[in-house]
A and B are shown apart, each in its own frame.
Chain A
Amino acid sequence: MTMVSRPVLFGALALIIVAVVALALPSWLVSLTTLAFANALVVLGLIILWRAGLVPFGQALFYAIGAYAVALIDRYGGMHDVFVLITAAAVLSAFAAFLTGFLLARYREIFFAMLSLAMSMILYGALVKTETLGSTDGFHVEAPTYLGYAPQGAMHLLVLFWLVLAFSAASALLVFLYFRSVAGALAVPVRDSEIRLEFLGVSVNGLIHLNLVISGTLAGIGGAFAALSIEHVDPNMAYWTTSGGFVFVTILAGAGSVAAAFVGSFVFEFLKSIAYDILPGTWQIFLGAVLLVTILFLPEGLGSLFGRLRQRLNLKPANVSS
């Protein structure tokens, strides 16, 4: 029991702190964090697949579906309530993941990666072709309302941030519990021996299909929040470099823990904005170096860092306050 409750406790604590601290933060940092957490939801989904040894190079497919769902309903659907928009994005991306899953679930390793890449690039091509949606220019996403409440200026940033925070917390908890369920725990065995699983009576493709739907839905919700946060969508959201970025962050975060996704994503966005700031002409060197150093010295990702921290806390609970 304690093995479940303790991380959850820390999580809840961190959540409340972040939510309150946000009030004091400058709005550029608030929106940066909002975007980071939106992307973290995608990363969370990648972690689910990663544990089963699967790395999609086309997760941006669902990210873009979520984002465009929000943008289109907001623009043409005449509905602006954030919960309607997010639900629609979640349902649509889940459905897309369910359909594509019938194909993707049959593949492993590089073939899985390449097929998902191909699928996302086909969506990209289609979006670029739809000139009515501004083609590569994309289009603006109007600020949503929150159950009738329409916040203004900086407040609108805060409210969106809190909502993303709430969704992040909820998703994190659910995924955390899923990892501790039988199905969730089967991810690692899939990597070790699919044959044994089949001969224990498990449908491995079914299991992977389930994981695909979960991660696809998370990616869709992430895309939806990203669209609301940057108030703009464009086909680039479906391009392979976007997917690459998510894999990048997953490596940075590490598949070790759920919280890692959020810390990793935040660190990535923050590093990027620093890199842009201090090395306007050569920021890619910086990002590349960061990635190399991470893989080299933190093969388990940032998650492993505060995995160790957690151990230390367990050893000396006195440190919690300090």
Chain B
Amino acid sequence: MRQHLPHPENRLTITFAAWFLGLLALTTTGARAEQPAPVKIGFVTFLTGPAAAPFGIPDHNAAELLVESLNAGQVPAPYAQVGLGGAKIEAKFLDEAGSASDVVTQFRNLAERDHVDVVVGYVSSGNCLAVTPVAEELKQLTVLDICGTPRVFEEKPRHYVFRVNPHATMDNVSTAKYALAKFKDVSVYSGINQNYAWGQDSWRDFRLVMKDLDPKATVDKELFPKLFAGEYGAEISTLLTSNAQFIHSSFYDGDLEAFIYQAAARGLPQRIPLVLTTGESSLWRLGAKVPDGTVIGARGPHTFFAHESALNVWFHKAYVDRFKEQPIYPAYDFAQSLFGLKTAWEKAQAKKGGGRPTTEEVIAAFEGISFPTPSTTVQMALGNGHQGISDTAVGTYKFDKAESRPEMVDIVRYSAACVNPPADVNSIAWLEGGMKGAKCD
């Protein structure tokens, strides 16, 4: 586990390795002798607390891996160029744990004490909402990473803030569509979601979509256990006594696993199938505990759902080789964020015919671009080109006993235009309005 901790000495070795390989690459390719100044990037994610395991660590691993590989120019096309446009990436990691005031203070320090060129990160929607206005105030180029709330770009247009990863709306649109297709003529369903913004929003979105697509379906039980409650006996009894045809949940990691253990032990998922909008992140640890037939989403076409590509093969292999564990969607999310930034940076650089692009030039290049990622292709379509959308996929879980590894069957893909609101529409309004303008095929 130790290498997960960004101890100073580790960061040192990483940078040394990077330099060495970088120089090697340069001499072999016989590129220009003098080094362009490195690009300083501040990476913020959960390094401590309950959110570290599910998000922070895969996030941080992907960052470590990609920064090192990019600096060494080892990433396959179209990202073969060293660092960002030939300039090495100099990474600085910060913990996202703490109150909003801590997070905002740390953001200011990154921008003005450490003078980073870009800030990439943030898992918690609350933190994304908190730093965005500060980023605008400080004119600090910022790429939000995992947080899902649509509010960031729907409350007002942003100039300095981007989010490559699609927001949470499409997760529930796609899973709802999938559930309706899978469980024929659904009339009753229940939901259990964590009692905080993420869980509340997920459940609201899911219900709105259900209302649009299956007006006769009614909600039986809707439960909101405390975040990180750990003990779900009462909730499981309630659900056991429910006559729902399936149970929606946006639980993740710790809470999801605790819920699955306790529910499975009491035969709940065997009786009523679960629809887990972000279940993918826990499958590798849960293995056979998750009963076959559970509906799984991954907040985008990641891991099981990723499109085949050289980039994906490389990323998956490099990650597993290095960390001896499977990359889960937060790792893919981070890769998308960084590749988006790299694309924009290098586009801007090319546009001005070489030389380091200014923040404004990067922003101009970033807006509206589309680019390949290990999982799929992302299009910066929403929020005046600041919010990415992509297709997504949902599947049904099946544990391969022979290989003793999780696998996904009956995968259904949904095009970006089908599960995301049109550019100028607020996502809740879109759901309430019956998802007008959705282009499904």
Contacts and interface: CB of A to CB of B under 8 A. Distances in A.
A adjacent to B, CB under 8 Å: yes
Interface of A: 26-28, 31-32, 35, 128-129, 131, 134-140, 153, 226, 229-234, 236-237, 241-242, 269, 272-273, 276-278, 280-284
B67 to A, nearest CB: 15
Given A153-B137, A276-B95, A135 B197 contact: yes
Contacts of B201: 131
A236 B196 CA distance: 11
Given A280-B95, A281-B6, A282-B5, A232 B108 contact: no
18 contacts: A28-B108, A28-B111, A28-B112, A28-B113, A32-B105, A35-B101, A131-B200, A137-B197, A140-B155, A226-B101, A232-B104, A236-B100, A236-B126, A276-B94, A276-B102, A277-B94, A277-B109, A281-B5
Contacts of B99: 236-237, 241-242
B95 A139 contact: no
A35 B103 CA distance: 12
Interface of B: 5-8, 47-48, 93-95, 98-102, 104-106, 108-109, 111-113, 125-126, 129-130, 132-134, 137-138, 149, 151, 155, 195-198, 200-201, 204, 227
B137 to A, nearest CB: 7
Q: Is the interface of A mostly helix, strand, loop or mixed?
A: helix
Contacts of A128: 195-196
B436 to A, nearest CB: 24
A27 B155 contact: no
Given A28-B112, A128-B195, A137 B126 contact: yes
A229 B133 CA distance: 12
A232 to B, nearest CB: 4
A236 B98 CA distance: 10
Contacts of A26: 112-113
B95 A231 contact: no
A232 B105 contact: no
B202 to A, nearest CB: 12
Contact of A137 (B102, B112, B133, B151): B151
Nearest to A131: B200
Counting chain A CB atoms within 10 Å of each CB, the highest count among B101, B149, B155, B196 belongs to B101
Contact of B94 (A129, A269, A280): A280
A239 B204 CA distance: 25
A138 B196 CA distance: 10
Contact of B6 (A31, A136, A153, A280): A280
Contacts of B111: 28
A60 B99 CA distance: 13
A204 to B, nearest CB: 35
B109 A281 contact: no
A237 B93 CA distance: 25
A233 B100 CA distance: 8
A232 B129 contact: yes
B59 to A, nearest CB: 13
Given A276-B95, A277-B109, A281-B7, A134 B133 contact: no
The 5 closest A-B pairs by CB, nearest first: A136-B196, A232-B130, A137-B197, A135-B197, A28-B112
